[in-house]
Chain A
């Protein structure tokens, strides 16, 4: 499978994850009156989840930023093992 197609599938999976995390019923897990480190639980949980999703997205997209270079690296890895003289 090409790297581009793999990235697309990962993004779709991340989208599905985000949809699940930010909606009922998973979101209801945080819906309590409580303070965490002085911050209200529900808004804090929302922001943390949000930031985590952005972090994952950034990681996925920036990692593959040099598509051409990574293809060459793949080819280099397929060389036969080094002779151990």
Chain B
């Protein structure tokens, strides 16, 4: 177990107090992403929802990774084609 620093810590802002879904451990990068994205989107979220949102985002990113790893040429067109 990590020893607590004796340094006085700055009070954490509510945004950084978002809990991790992992057994109450340290917030991880995904927790930070949820918090930051909520701020960027001006989307107030109840801290009680954080774990569920993180779970769903984790799932989406896992799905997206399956696509991200698939090599496509630079000139691959997105399926929806716009006509002016």
Answer whether A and B are interacting partners.
Answer: no
Q: Which B residues are closer than 8 A to A by beta carbons? A: none
